Chain A
Amino acid sequence: MIDAVLGFALVGLAGAAGLFLLGPLLRAGPLRKPDERAVLEAGHQALLRALHDLDLDWAVGKLSEDDYHSQRSHLLAEASAVLRRLGRASHEAEP
């Protein structure tokens, strides 16, 4: 009796797993493209983190004033460029 119940349960589970596995094949559609905004946002956050780290490095005396401002300008320029691309991507995504 227990074996039979177990057998039915397994067959049921196998059926459910089969439907779960094969289901997506019935829904044709193109492969998703990377979410450009998410990628750019991640890149922007990485640059902000680098700026934050640079600030801390300077605050604790690891950098000269000249190096601090030069590195900061460089990172800011990169962050601004990413932000502009992010703005464009958001604009294009709007209906």
Chain B
Amino acid sequence: MGEIGRFALQAGTAVALYGLTATLLGLWRREGGMAQAGQRAVVVWTLLMALASVSLLVGLLTRDFSIRFVATASESTQSIFYTITAFWGGHDGALLLWALVLGIYMTLGVRSLRDHPDLQGPATATLLAVAIFFSVLLATASNPFHPLLPPPPDGQGLNPLLRNPWMVAHPPALYLGYVGMSVPFAIAVGALISGRLDESWIELSRRWVLVAWAFLTLGILLGAKWAYVVLGWGGYWAWDPVENAALMPWLTATAFIHSIQIQARRRMLAAWNASLILLTFGLTIFGTFLVRSGILSSVHAFAQAPTIGYMFLGLMALLLIGSFGLLVWRWESLRSHGGVESVVSRETAFLANNLLFVAAAVVVFLGTIFPALTEVFRGVKVNVGPPYYNMVMVPVGIGILALMGLGPMMPWRRATAEQLAHNFLMPAALAVLGALLLGVLGVRKAGPLMVFALSLFVVGTVALEAARGVSVRVGRGEGMALAAVRLVLRNRRRYGGYLVHLGVLLVFAGVAASSVFSTQSQAVLRPGQRFEVGRYILEYGGLRGSAIPGVEITEAAVRVWTGSRWLGILSPQRYFYASQEQSMHRVAIRSSPREDLYVILSDWTEDGAATIRVLVNPLVSWMWAGGVVIVLGTLLAALPERRLRPARTTRPLRRSAGGGLGEEGRSP
């Protein structure tokens, strides 16, 4: 299998080079056959990456330890499930997965541009250039089929930290997000090269960005969930460089998703939008560079590999210099056609939102590279910790939250005082009432109070708009349920976006509550002893040892009550992986919408005493639920839309004598 894999990767390099040459010659000589050859090279390259991937999978499943990657990432006692997922459990395999995902995106992306040959050619060339980089990397420095002779009798096994279902799902989701940004990047480059800089490239990119953004969001949340259940420190986000690496392109992509609406509607910010998507893809490569270069230490990072780091640095420099060079070249053509007419308008709110997202990305970028900078200039790595990020990100987050309520309810161009009162009075009253109620219930800290009040404000604005929309349709004779469903389905972009906002509110609420109101306690207990944390009573019942192939398990029994109500037994565990001589937490979590009871077996002694650490983390489950809502909302917004008919859409609505809206049976 090793030979087939090596052949596929080397052939991939040749095919990608051939494809790029044919595409560029086709563009230069205006030759259709050559351009088509380039498009076919994309398909063949993808098939070769699929062949290499199948070869690696077969190598893993047949325990072919003559392949170095297989010997590093698997062992004979490893379950089939983790043997398959070991594919992306090591650096080289993860890069191959990246290349496979890139191939799939490339094939679909190039095909999606078939009606736009002026964009298709340059976009194909851009994607093939990226493919060449990954082919060369995989065929040389990161070859997952590198032989290991003589083969060892057994492998080293997958890193125990990665033997978790959340970590199984996290890298593919993240790669689908990272790599997905390559298509809108290529479309933007295509628009810049071809000079077709109207709004069409925005529309062609939109769905790709949404899908990639949804995967990136999912990947980030899956990583947070993994950290929460595996690392055993009770949190889910530590501003780790690798976490930041995923957050930065997420922030700029989020800014892009909002600002393209201004371009589509007001023909403004073309240069800004192009910059954002170029930067977003640049940041995905920067993130990969961070994870693989060894420049920064992280629990998520792969082993240090300086050569690979330099190669990624080179790619990043090439992409950013090349693409921003094109942007400068086309600068005059990208000038805005309109301007902001009033500070109180949707475009101003979206602009403010963009500035906050980009400012957040800059803050995260500076905090992430600070240790590398101090090492270069002072010879020692100095890390910035959570206080640096919290100092900036908390106010930025609160600002974004406020704009989530304000922006969508403002009209384009300008808003009058009367409209502001009409749209914001009720949501603002709801926010104030909510804040007062929380104050009465004992919430006194300013940060969470603002987050919850603003969340209620956003919920109020969305609910108010939805209620008014439904009421218009009901006024035209539709039933309430049908009206609601039709309103959402006929305005998918808008209500998909609102659903995403509601998901973000859940995440914000979870983060705010668990960051500020988490309580914890630790005790050394003998069997039968009890201790209390918050409203919980915990009784330690003793230790039990067991084993599965390759792993020794120590498990504590912890009985749990609230008052006199029996909740059950929680069993925090410690796994000891003999071949890696590494132990790992298996935290016991009792999760409810109100809070998580998080129990860790920290330590124990031969006489059966155990150190039990317990955290009560409020609203953590809201974060995970928020992630699901965000993905559903994004899918709704990305669904293909029905074709609008001019005869219906071009008739204006009129207010009827009774105050209702609509004309001739038409509802928006």
Nearest-CB residue, chain A, relative to B22? A25
Give Cα A29–Cα B415 distance, bound, in whole angstroms. 55
Query: Beyond A48-B649, A51-B650, is A62–B419 a contact (Cβ under 8 Å)?
Result: yes
CB of A60, distance to nearest CB on chain B (Å):
4
B203, A42: Cβ atoms under 8 Å? yes
Question: Scoring B residues 627 to 668 as 1 if CB is less than 8 Å from chain A, else 0, what string do you get?
Answer: 000000000000001011110011011010000011000011
CB of A57, distance to nearest CB on chain B (Å):
6
CB of B491, distance to nearest CB on chain A (Å):
6
A-B interface pairs (CB < 8 A), number:
147
Residues of A within 8 A of B203 (CB): 42, 46
Interface residue? B559 (CB, 8 A): no
B200, A31: Cβ atoms under 8 Å? no
Per the CB 8 Å criterion, the residue count for chain B at the interface is 65
Which of A21, A48, A55, A64 has a CB less than 8 Å from the CB of B44? A21
CB of B422, distance to nearest CB on chain A (Å):
5
Interface residue? B499 (CB, 8 A): no
Residues of A within 8 A of B200 (CB): 39, 42-43
Question: Scoring B residues 43 to 67 as 1 if CB is less than 8 Å from chain A, else 0, what string do you get?
Answer: 1100100000000000000000000
CB of B38, distance to nearest CB on chain A (Å):
9
Residues of B within 8 A of A42 (CB): 200, 203
B37, A59: Cβ atoms under 8 Å? no
Interface residue? A90 (CB, 8 A): no
Give Cα A41–Cα B212 distance, bound, in whole angstroms. 26
B413, A79: Cβ atoms under 8 Å? no
B491, A56: Cβ atoms under 8 Å? yes
Residue from the set A30, A57, A68, A69 with the largest chain B CB neighbour count within 10 Å: A57
A55, B653: Cβ atoms under 8 Å? yes
Number of contact residues on A: which range applies? 35 or more
Question: Scoring A residues 8 to 36 as 1 if CB is less than 8 Å from chain B, else 0, what string do you get?
Answer: 00100010010011111111111111110
Give Cα A20–Cα B37 distance, bound, in whole angstroms. 8
Query: Beyond A27-B33, A83-B646, is A71–B413 a contact (Cβ under 8 Å)?
Result: yes
CB of B639, distance to nearest CB on chain A (Å):
14
Residues of A within 8 A of B115 (CB): 34-35, 38-39
B650, A31: Cβ atoms under 8 Å? no
Interface residue? B36 (CB, 8 A): yes
Give Cα A61–Cα B418 distance, bound, in whole angstroms. 10
Residues of A within 8 A of B418 (CB): 64
Give Cα A29–Cα B34 distance, bound, in whole angstroms. 9
Interface residue? A88 (CB, 8 A): no
Give Cα A20–Cα B170 distance, bound, in whole angstroms. 36
Residues of B within 8 A of A61 (CB): 419, 422-423, 468
Which of A34, A57, A68, A83 has a CB less than 8 Å from the CB of B117? A34
Residues of B within 8 A of A69 (CB): 652
CB of B657, distance to nearest CB on chain A (Å):
15
Nearest-CB residue, chain B, relative to A14? B11
Query: Beyond A31-B27, A42-B200, A76-B650, is A21–B37 a contact (Cβ under 8 Å)?
Result: yes
Residues of A within 8 A of B653 (CB): 55, 58-59
Q: Give 25 A-B contacts (CB < 8 Å), ordered by A residue.
A: A10-B7, A20-B43, A21-B18, A24-B32, A24-B34, A24-B36, A24-B40, A32-B117, A33-B117, A34-B115, A34-B116, A34-B118, A39-B116, A45-B644, A52-B644, A55-B668, A56-B491, A56-B668, A59-B667, A62-B411, A64-B416, A65-B655, A67-B411, A69-B652, A71-B413
Which 5 residue pairs across A and B have the least CB separation, nearest first? A56-B668, A24-B36, A60-B468, A48-B644, A55-B668
Known pairs A32-B117, A59-B653. 15 more at Cβ < 8 A?
A22-B37, A23-B37, A24-B40, A27-B32, A31-B35, A31-B117, A35-B116, A46-B203, A51-B650, A52-B668, A55-B652, A56-B491, A58-B653, A58-B668, A59-B668
B interface residues (Cβ-Cβ under 8 A, vs A): 4, 7, 11, 15, 18, 22, 26-27, 30-37, 40-41, 43-44, 47, 115-118, 121, 196, 198-200, 203, 264-265, 409-416, 418-419, 422-423, 465, 468-469, 472, 491, 494, 641, 643-646, 649-650, 652-653, 655, 661-662, 667-668
